[in-house]
Amino acid sequence: MQIDLKERTAIITGGSKGLGLAVAQRFAGLGAQVFIVARDVNVLEQARAGIERQAPGRVGAIAADIATPDGVNKAYEAAMSRFGKVDIIVNNAGISRAGGFESVTDEIWQADLDLKLFAAIRLSRLVWPQMRQRQWGRIINVLNIGAKAPAAKSVPTSVSRAAGMALTKALAGEGAPFNILVNALLVGRIESDQWVRQAHATGRPLQELLDEMGRKIPLGRMGTADEFAAAACFMASDWASYITGTALNVDGGASPVM
């Protein structure tokens, strides 16, 4: 099976590092034009330059806070100015906020929903008309396995991610007549900057921490960002032409729910 994303343009939020960067690199390597969005302009520029070396002329970037309506509009307009269309959205932006219910304030709830849910709603709403007109589109919502099986003290993340899964299913039904396929990828434990920060904060060697976390997963190891990106490439391609409204676990078997 040869995945080909030539002639496709993708906008990837949270695209400057971690999972988003891995997806952008993979998409560009398969011929897509990619437009990455993130808040940190320095990290974003490093990511853009790295993809540009791999795929000259096929990358654009803008620093924007997509937790705000203005930030989403700014990102969309910049992507359209750079490439003239958007075929694929990867709603990846987000951070892990988890705590006990009583400790989570209204402000924390609102910030989490703005970043993880409303950003996806607003960006998808902007791109939807052109996908419908061209009768082709892919929307991939990056969630986590807590969306299906929330643990204690996992709010607000598990709740905003569960809402993202409901959004995925609702949009899939609306998009199906227009060949707009909407799916979610649910992340388990993946090697990322999150674990680098935790290792640094606790003074533990990174590999020791990753090995310990990996032993709790049925496959016996943490996943990699590139493995996650491979799943995103399939979902974005014509090979996934009969898959919509699904929430696929990318977790090494960790989730108790299929």
**pLDDT digits 0-9 by tens, 35-79:** 999 999 999 999 999 999 999 999 999 999 999 999 999 999 999
**What is the sign, positive or negative, of the torsion defined by CA atoms of 175, 229, 35, 58?**
negative
CA 133 to chain centre: 24
Give the start-end residues of each E strand in 14-95.
33-38, 59-63, 88-91
| Cis peptide preceding 156, ω within 30 of 0 | yes
Neighbours of 27 (CB within 10 A): 31
Nearest one of 90, 158, 146 to 120, comparing CA atoms? 90
Q: Which domains occur in the chain, in start order? A: 9-188+224-250 (3.40.50.720), 192-222 (no CATH)
Look up residue 68 and give its amino acid: T
pTM to 2 decimal places: 0.96
pLDDT at 197: 81
pLDDT, tens digit, for every residue of 143-182? Answer: 999 999 999 999 999 999 999 999 999 999 999 999 999 9
